[in-house]
Structure 1
Amino acid sequence: MKFTLLASLVGALASLSSVHAHLYGDLASDSELLSHASLIVEGPSFAAPPSLEVVPLVLSGPPENRVNLVFFADGYTLAQRSKFLSDALYQAQDMTLNQTFNTVRPLLNFYAAYTPSNQSGVGTGGRALDTAFGLYRDGTELRGVYCSKPTVIRDACSSLGNLCNYPILLGNSPFYGGLGGSPTIVTSSLLNGPIVLRHELGHSIIKVGEEYNGGTSYFGVNAQRTATSPVSWAHWLTNSSAPLRAERSVMPLQSYVWTLLNTTKSWSTTFRSAGTYSRHHLKYSISGVPNAADLTVRLDGKDIGWVPEPGIGDDRWHYNFYGNSKLAAGAHTLEFVLRNPAIQGKAQLCNVEMLEFGSASEFISTPGHHALYPTFDSSNRTTFRPTNEDCLMRVMTAPNFCSVCKEDLWRRLLTNISLIDSVTESCSSAGNKTLEAKLVPVGQFRLPDNQVSVAESVTIRWLKNGVVVPKYANAAKIDLGKGAGEVVGNWTVEVAFKTEEVRQDPSGRLAAKQFYAVNAANC
């Protein structure tokens, strides 16, 4: 199915929300954001939005009762229309067919909105190309991607009405980059595009800050200021009866380097360890280094055996080195040695970080363990998160949200939609009046292509004139019979959804009811 919408004139007065480049541990400073002032403050637009060809990608139900996400094309020429549709479908399917958004897929619709650009690609050096929405990078580093036409994307989304709840600008670039906020900005990078997108939608939908170290924004259900009660995720704590404590760790090194490597002189830095921790974890990211022979990474003079992510090419990737031994007290050296002169000018070290942990009993790293894990901001101040490395809000390459974020994802998505799509009246083959509640397909009503491993169920109650009718319990379609006394009246259907991914629902988001008046018994 495909249809074309000609965007109508929109006089939108709402301003864009502020944005921040926090992808993969990238933090844009306040001064950097101010240098992109058009992203933050721009006046109303009275020009017609671009003409949009809207193509459904992944649909779960009627758009008026779903959360609708729309990919908008930027840097795709007329000849690249099919590439855009393929890129958008790839990202939509990656998000909904793997673990990340799979359980909430029945609440989501994804669309692609195509408008051609005069030039192909994403601008660099602070200059946009001649594209529909004017995406560009500050320099050539694989970091933030900015929008030079924020009112155009705002008005384009507004022109689609309820079909566009979350606009996503998809830039035609094979390399990592993006931006958070509204709109969310991603690129067509095969490895990084979907990873960036699901992380950014975590910010946009769940309304949480970061979990990685070295940032500035830590807030929402996944952030705790102190290691004392009350803890907002107390109902998820693995050892809820044990005294509260912070898992023991420290961050002796953290830096966003953004430096081009060369073969003349290696890049190195020193840091100090107290020598009182049992294990260590080195994190770093690089781009423009496709082969293992191109680079050597040394810790205290020892090669740690770096190898590139398979298929990464010149794109950026994050790497980890886990050391199961204590770092000695005193100074330590970390060194990156470029071996291949042919890749000078593109080989870049993006960031480095060293963490140290206590013993296995002092720092529990078991997946699924919920406690108070320290997170260190750009000034090395401490907040706390629910899990070690379970959450894609901390580890971009992780496939899932932690339980705390996933719980709030359900609650946020169900804020403006109902578990009941509609109630319809019809007649059976026997001539009996029937009522059917069309439900969002979760629990036992999930479709065959969206079966999940988590425990969940839907319970249904039917009431006539305010009185429960027990014989219709848990039936989505009920046969009322033929007699006026049985049929005519004010009917209510109540639906309650339970899933092990939600332990607390104080606002009743996982429940719904709908009223329906049957005025005649005859068919």
Structure 2
Amino acid sequence: MTLLDTYLVILAVASFANGQFCEHQWEGKFADHKVDGVPYLQAVDNVAPPPLEIRPLIVTGPSDNRVDLIFLGDGYTEAEKEKFFSDALFLAENVTDGQTFNDVAPLMNWWAGFSPSAESGVGVGGQPLDTVYGLYRDGTELRGVYYDKPEVARAACQSTDACDYPILLGNDPYYGGLGGSFTVITSSTVNGPAILRHELGHSIINVGEEYDGATGYFGVNSARTTSSVPWTQWYSEPETEPRVQRSNMPIQAYTWSLLNTTTAYSSTFTSAGTYDNYLVQFSISGVPESSDLLVQLDGVDLKWEVFQGIELDRYIYNLPFNASLAPGEHRLTFTLLNPDREGTAQLCNLEVLEYGDENERFAPELGYYGLYPTYSDRNGTTYRPTNNDCLMRWTYTVDFCSACIEGLWWALLRPLSLIDQVDQVAQASGVTNITLELLPVAQFRDVPRPSEAYTIEWFNAADSSPLSQWTNQTSALISQSIAEVDVVVRFWTAQVKIDRDGVLVQEERIAVKRCGTETSYPRRSLVEN
């Protein structure tokens, strides 16, 4: 019996109880929260941390002025230690190399911390294995992965300075994850990077979902009404807004149904017939070949093709059709053709969306920002910024939308200083050379970007008079008549249109060191970011 067979053998019971839940269920006890007024990850338990062997993966600067993310392995035995470090490096490189977190990568460090587990893998049916953090699936279906030992994970995080965002990495080859206090992912080569991006969106940016059928919609990418939109600065046609993009969701369900060759799975829905085109979306697992499954709408083959290399893992498919659905009832049918797939082939979810008509256009193009309806598990409506631009909606997109990227900059810069370090060299002549080392963005990236820039202003702190000769210079020669200087560093990026919390400005007062003195002057920030 394969690993996936084991996962699915008790599905009939588990899916009955869980069938209509949203994807990852990271609300409730798994959401980030406080303990007696203290942030969860900072609360102290009398729990000893597991021994951690920590290795750097991608390090851009000192931990005291970077956001540190660390993979904490679960379900990796001592013999699988190198597999863990390899899995962690693959994931870190995948989400930072030219995509997703590439733009903000200079603000982040990535680490991996290994602790051996007694058993290999991730638990199923709500039962964790004998592992460090107790990761498990609620049932057997490929969706959320939860943790049974949060106090151990928290102790592990608190035992190192390299843990602002802990990522529990389960030794499991299939789709699954969770956001919240701890980001949880698996080592799936296809889905691991996609779920990591998505769950870190929850954990870092503090946003909810964008896909349909969930329960949590909030943050910079969500609006409950057309008059409370947090991304108006990104509208493509602000003069026409608010204008809701016309769409409809006639059916959406998380089925978690095992497929068999005896009886096809089918579901009916009704269309008003007043839309110009439609999309059929579904996800399946345990189906590695296109010839294994027939997908039909009203008896017509939809020509579904399997994602190459997915094997038995889960994958989400979008099938768009540039045609109108006729008014009336329709039937969507999934027929398993290969009896060898019985016991593993599973229909996870299905959805049909209809778009636009001749009078009210739906803008499907990438890069268009407006008001797009999102439909919850109870068919409630909120709004999102784009159609499918954002990985918070379409999991296999590798980038965030502009609203989320802006929120990502806010979240990462908030605890950091734009100034990494201040160095002073006092010369015998009485002049002091003060040099600033800034976060390596803008002109200080390995490859400078025209869409980013620093500006630097120097002032005599005594009377606020500008030291104009050093404007936009990271070094300034300060005469002996000046006891303190103020420096104002501003960072500009086209990815942030509104500096909501003042995170793009750093003001620093520096006591000037003199030749022959032993005094070390700490930096004194004039503005707390």
- TM-score normalised by L of structure 2: 0.88
The 2-side partners of 1:178 and 1:335 are apart by 28
Does the aligned pair in 1 maintain the 2:26–2:178 contact within 8 Å?
no
Secondary structure of 1:99's match?
Answer: coil
Please state if 1:149 is matched with 2:145. Answer: no
Structure-1 residue corresponding to 2:457: 461
Q: Deviations over 1:215-269 (max 9, x none)?
A: 1111111111122x34321111111112422110000010000000001111011
Structure-2 residue corresponding to 1:124: 124
| Cα deviation, residue 27, structure 1 | 4.7
How is 1:356-367 mapped onto 2 (pairs within 5 angstroms)?
356-359=354-357, 362-367=361-366
Structure-2 residue corresponding to 1:13: none
1:473 to 1:132, Cα distance in 2 relative to 1, 3 A: same
Structure-2 residue corresponding to 1:344: 342
| Cα deviation, residue 28, structure 1 | 3.4
Secondary structure of 1:139's match?
Answer: coil
The 1-side partners of 2:388 and 2:141 are apart by 27
The 2-side partners of 1:293 and 1:176 are apart by 22
Does the aligned pair in 2 maintain the 1:423–1:514 contact within 8 Å?
no
Does the aligned pair in 1 maintain the 2:459–2:466 contact within 8 Å?
yes
Equivalent AA in structure 2 for residue 455 of structure 1: S
Please state if 1:101 is matched with 2:101. Answer: yes
Does the aligned pair in 1 maintain the 2:210–2:384 contact within 8 Å?
yes
The 2-side partners of 1:84 and 1:383 are apart by 40
The 2-side partners of 1:200 and 1:176 are apart by 13
| Cα deviation, residue 430, structure 1 | 10
Q: Deviations over 1:413-457 (max 9, x none)?
A: 111111111111126899963111110011111124xx55x6111
Q: Deviations over 1:286-345 (max 9, x none)?
A: 000001111111111111111111111000000010010000000111011111111110
Secondary structure of 2:317's match?
Answer: strand
Please state if 1:316 is matched with 2:304. Answer: no
The 2-side partners of 1:519 and 1:178 are apart by 52
How is 1:415-426 mapped onto 2 (pairs within 5 angstroms)?
415-426=414-425
The 1-side partners of 2:490 and 2:26 are apart by 45
Does the aligned pair in 2 maintain the 1:433–1:522 contact within 8 Å?
no
Q: Deviations over 1:460-494 (max 9, x none)?
A: 111222322111111112334xx523xx4202221
Equivalent AA in structure 2 for residue 495 of structure 1: V
Structure-2 residue corresponding to 1:244: 242
Does the aligned pair in 2 maintain the 1:267–1:337 contact within 8 Å?
yes
Secondary structure of 1:478's match?
Answer: strand
Secondary structure of 1:255's match?
Answer: strand
Q: Deviations over 1:145-183 (max 9, x none)?
A: 1111111001111121x4211111000011111112111
Please state if 1:484 is matched with 2:483. Answer: no
The 2-side partners of 1:429 and 1:477 are apart by 18
| Cα deviation, residue 125, structure 1 | 2.3
The 2-side partners of 1:77 and 1:313 are apart by 25
1:165 to 1:196, Cα distance in 2 relative to 1, 3 A: same
Secondary structure of 1:408's match?
Answer: helix
How is 1:394-473 mapped onto 2 (pairs within 5 angstroms)?
394-426=393-425, 433-448=432-447, 455-465=451-461, 466-473=464-471
Structure-2 residue corresponding to 1:74: 74
The 2-side partners of 1:428 and 1:78 are apart by 56
Q: Deviations over 1:381-408 (max 9, x none)?
A: 1111111111111111111111111111
Secondary structure of 2:90's match?
Answer: helix
1:398 to 1:428, Cα distance in 2 relative to 1, 3 A: farther
Does the aligned pair in 2 maintain the 1:61–1:109 contact within 8 Å?
yes
1:500 to 1:430, Cα distance in 2 relative to 1, 3 A: same
Does the aligned pair in 2 maintain the 1:25–1:212 contact within 8 Å?
no
1:408 to 1:348, Cα distance in 2 relative to 1, 3 A: same
Secondary structure of 1:263's match?
Answer: coil
The 2-side partners of 1:515 and 1:404 are apart by 33
Equivalent AA in structure 1 for residue 48 of structure 2: A
Does the aligned pair in 1 maintain the 2:433–2:476 contact within 8 Å?
yes
| Cα deviation, residue 376, structure 1 | 0.6
Secondary structure of 1:235's match?
Answer: helix
Secondary structure of 2:324's match?
Answer: coil
Does the aligned pair in 2 maintain the 1:426–1:434 contact within 8 Å?
yes
Return 217-226 or 313-322, whichever deviates more.
Answer: 217-226
The 2-side partners of 1:497 and 1:434 are apart by 23
Does the aligned pair in 2 maintain the 1:437–1:493 contact within 8 Å?
no
| Cα deviation, residue 522, structure 1 | 6.5
| Cα deviation, residue 95, structure 1 | 1.3
Secondary structure of 1:100's match?
Answer: coil
Structure-2 residue corresponding to 1:497: 491
The 2-side partners of 1:107 and 1:521 are apart by 34
| Cα deviation, residue 506, structure 1 | 3.0
Does the aligned pair in 1 maintain the 2:426–2:513 contact within 8 Å?
no
Secondary structure of 1:151's match?
Answer: helix
Structure-2 residue corresponding to 1:15: none
Structure-2 residue corresponding to 1:257: 255
The 1-side partners of 2:182 and 2:408 are apart by 19
The percentage of aligned residue pairs carrying the same residue is 48
Does the aligned pair in 2 maintain the 1:484–1:521 contact within 8 Å?
no
Instruction: Give the superposed CA RMSD.
Output: 2.5
The 1-side partners of 2:98 and 2:341 are apart by 35
Secondary structure of 2:130's match?
Answer: coil
Please state if 1:381 is matched with 2:377. Answer: no
The 2-side partners of 1:102 and 1:29 are apart by 26
Equivalent AA in structure 2 for residue 252 of structure 1: P
| Cα deviation, residue 199, structure 1 | 0.6
Structure-2 residue corresponding to 1:4: none
| Cα deviation, residue 76, structure 1 | 0.8
How is 1:186-335 mapped onto 2 (pairs within 5 angstroms)?
186-227=185-226, 229-335=227-333
The 2-side partners of 1:115 and 1:467 are apart by 56
5+ residue gaps, structure 2: 1-17, 518-529
How is 1:168-187 mapped onto 2 (pairs within 5 angstroms)?
168-187=167-186
Structure-2 residue corresponding to 1:63: 63
1:312 to 1:341, Cα distance in 2 relative to 1, 3 A: same
Equivalent AA in structure 2 for residue 26 of structure 1: E
Does the aligned pair in 2 maintain the 1:177–1:187 contact within 8 Å?
yes
5+ residue gaps, structure 1: 1-20
Does the aligned pair in 1 maintain the 2:405–2:495 contact within 8 Å?
yes
- How many residue pairs were aligned? 489
Equivalent AA in structure 2 for residue 221 of structure 1: V
Secondary structure of 1:498's match?
Answer: strand
The 1-side partners of 2:330 and 2:466 are apart by 71
Does the aligned pair in 2 maintain the 1:67–1:109 contact within 8 Å?
yes
| Cα deviation, residue 140, structure 1 | 2.4
The 2-side partners of 1:405 and 1:509 are apart by 16
Secondary structure of 2:453's match?
Answer: strand
1:119 to 1:230, Cα distance in 2 relative to 1, 3 A: closer
